[in-house]
Copies of this chain bind each other. A is one copy, B any other.
Amino acid sequence: MLPISDLDPKSAAPLYRQVYQQIRELISNGRLKNGFRLPATRELAGQLGLNRTTISAAYELLEHDGLIAGHVGRGSFVAAPPRQGGLNWNQLLDCKEIATTPSAATISFSASRPSELLFPIPEFRACCEEVIAGPDVQTILQLGSPAGYGPLRRYLLEQARAEGAARDSDDILITSGCQQAFDLLQRILAANGETVVVEDPVYPGARNAFQRARARVMGVPVGPEGIDLAALEHLLNSEHPRLLIVTATFQNPTGATMPPAARERLLSLASRAGTVVIENDIYGPLAYEGGTPATLKQLDPSGDTVLLRSFSKLAFPGLRVGWVIGPRPLIQKLTEAKQWSDLHSDQLSQAVLLRFAESGRLETHRQHVLQTGGERLQATLDACRLYLPPGTEWTHPRGGMNLWVRLPQPLDAGELLPRAERAGVSYLPGKYFAVGTADPNALRLSFAGLTPEEIETGIRTLGRIFTTELERVRAASPLEATALV
């Protein structure tokens, strides 16, 4: 017999809940051990003088908690007793995911980030020293404003106004990198399952920030000229989504850039649909040739486009400073959300990056990054042409950090990755960036962090692996493979 003590029919807690709580306690204090068979509902109902449905309801709650498991025809068993006096963390947390181990590849095309070898360390040190010797150091070390460090906010907003990327009706919020901007936008504009349109493939951090908060994330294909406008128009008209997130310049992962006319068309479509455009412009300043196209924000006649920028791709990703420029009512709401997320962004880095920018060192560094970036991009394009097997396609970006490669059928970039890693080279397969069905042939090559020599060696290695596999498959089923290419 279960040691259930007297129930109180006059209690605010219904009887089934009282039964549930008593059994729960018997399990958590170890009196009912893992594997213990609970009495049948009819039996316990008889013992306690209760209705059988009351017992069933109590058992259902226990099952929902993962504390008991029912087996048809055999009854219910204690299933997952916590340690003595302890919590069952795996049950509380719904632990299913397994952390991926980072690749040990020596040449990694996996990360869309600058090379640390290019960091201008002496200039960074000078900025730090100017900040810590400066008159504002006490203010920087004291609790600050959720909106960001005042002098940096003013500097960035003035810069944006001067280039037509901020209106008088706009304001600015400093975020802890661009990733936090996505997170805050989700909280303020897509907290209730709203529809959010992103590019497909897309930077996974943008997709995840919305998907994990249960927004309805829908993808629109990206071609060499950016987001597919016909597909976008269809989606905007049929769904009137809340948000459209777009990287018009040197998109991650494809490297695609939208032509000016496509930008204007996108703005007009979004405006008609009442959809807020979020422009991720973190790669915009990295135009190696042909100049930087005007941002959506600059082109937008309504001024409603929300512009995201960051120092991370241009300067130091380890200093987490990005910013959002948008209409004042939105920035006010985002600032409130920022406050209850983390009070405010780190002020030392804000001050150091302000010094880096206003001293002209950022622009000098950018010129250097443009030169080396152009060389790296060229090395990547050359190596793709030289080494990748016939039938491979790749994008031809003119800036940014990424290139999108489509292997000939039936090569699967995900399946081939372990082989590449064993040969010392890594990349990210297309599936990491997919919103809808992933393209198994696709992969991203992030070239900015590697030297031209590493790029050449790495792509030569990849080319050898892909070519070998292609020959193997074609030898195995020549007709099928030919038909597919």
Considering the complex, which residues of chain A in the window 239-266 have a beta carbon less than 8 Å from any beta carbon of chain B? 240
B209 contacts A340, CB within 8 Å? yes
Is A333 touching B93 in the complex (CB atoms < 8 A)?
A: yes
Per the bound structure, the CA–CA distance linking A341 and B184 in Å amounts to 9
Contact of A347 among B21, B272, B318 (CB under 8 A): B318
C-alpha gap A86/B306 in the complex (Å):
12
Report the minimum CB–CB distance from A201 to chain B (whole Å). 17
Q: Tell me if A319 and B343 are in contact (CB < 8 A).
A: no
Q: How many copies does the complex hold?
A: 2
In the complex, A140→B304 CA distance in Å? Answer: 36
Separation of A398 and B346 alpha carbons in the complex (Å): 31
In the complex, which residue of chain B has the Cβ closest to the Cβ of A141? Answer: B316
Partner of A29, one of B92, B180, B272, B320: B272
Q: Does A431 contact B (CB under 8 A)?
A: no
Query: Is A477 an interface residue when CB atoms closer than 8 A count as contact?
Result: no
Name the CB-closest residue of B to A208: B340
- 24 A-B pairs with C-beta separation under 8 A: A21-B240, A83-B302, A85-B271, A86-B302, A86-B303, A93-B188, A95-B332, A121-B137, A124-B132, A129-B129, A141-B316, A141-B318, A143-B317, A143-B318, A176-B346, A177-B343, A179-B342, A183-B342, A319-B348, A320-B345, A321-B346, A342-B342, A346-B348, A348-B348
- Give the chain B neighbours of A346 by CB distance below 8 A: 176, 318-321, 345-346, 348-349
Segment with Cβ contacts to B, from A111-119, A366-374, A436-444: A111-119
Which has the most chain B C-beta neighbours within 10 Å: A332, A336, A346? A346
A117-152 CB mask vs B (1 if < 8 Å, else 0) is: 101010011001100110001111111100000000
A327 within 8 A of B: yes
Bound CA–CA A333/B99 (angstroms): 10
Bound state CA distance, A113 and B343, in angstroms?
A: 13
Interface residues of A in 1-46 (CB under 8 A from B): 12-13, 21, 24-25, 28-29
**Of B12, B133, B205, which contacts A340 at CB under 8 A?**
B205
Interface string of A90-104 (1 = CB under 8 A from B): 101101010100000
A130 to chain B minimum Cβ distance, whole angstroms, is 11
Decide if A482 is an interface residue (CB 8 Å cutoff): no
Q: A209: which B residues are within 8 A, CB to CB?
A: 340
> Would you call A125 and B133 a contact (CB within 8 A)?
yes
A142 to B317, CA, bound (A): 5
Known A82-B274, A179-B340, A276-B92; contact A319-B347, beta-carbon cutoff 8 A: yes
Q: Does A344 contact B (CB under 8 A)?
A: yes
Closest 8 CB pairs of A and B: A86-B302, A141-B316, A346-B346, A318-B347, A180-B342, A143-B317, A176-B342, A116-B138
> How far is it, in angstroms, between the C-alpha of A47 and the C-alpha of B420 when the chains are bound?
66
The reply to whether A176 and B176 form a contact with Cβ atoms under 8 Å apart is yes
Contact A113/B143 with A87-B304, A119-B138, A329-B89 known, Cβ cut-off 8 Å = yes
Does the CB pair B320–A271 fall under 8 Å? Answer: no
What are the residues of chain B within 8 A of A340 when measuring CB–CB? 179, 183, 205, 208-209, 212
- 0/1 string, A69-90, CB within 8 A of B gives 1: 0000000000000111111011
A301 at the interface (CB under 8 A from B): yes
CB-defined contacts of A12 to chain B, threshold 8 Å: 238
Question: Does A189 sit within 8 A of B, measured CB to CB?
Answer: yes
Residue among A13, A125, A320 having the largest count of chain B Cβ atoms under 10 Å: A320
- Chain B residues positioned under 8 Å from A318 (CB to CB): 139-144, 346-348
Interface flag for A296 (CB, 8 Å)? no
Contact, CB under 8 Å: B25 / A272: yes
Residue pair B138, A97 in contact (C-beta under 8 Å): no
**Given the complex, which residues of B lie within 8 Å of A341, measured CB to CB?**
179-180, 183, 341
Which has the most chain B C-beta neighbours within 10 Å: A139, A341, A342?
A342
Most buried by B among A82, A117, A268, A340: A340
A352 at the A/B interface (Cβ < 8 Å)? Answer: yes
1/0 contact trace for A438-477 toward B, CB 8 Å? 0000000000000000000000000000000000000000
Complex CA–CA separation, A140 to B316 (angstroms): 9
A21 to B239, CA, bound (A): 10
A237 on the B face (CB < 8 A) = yes
Give the CA-CA distance A317 to B87 in the complex, in Å.
33
Which residues on the B side are within 8 Å of A25 (C-beta)?
272
Within 8 A of B (CB), among A148-197: 175-177, 179-180, 183, 188-189
- Shortest C-beta distance, A277 to chain B (Å), equals 9
Q: Which of A198-251 contact B (CB under 8 A)?
A: 205, 208-209, 212, 237-238, 240
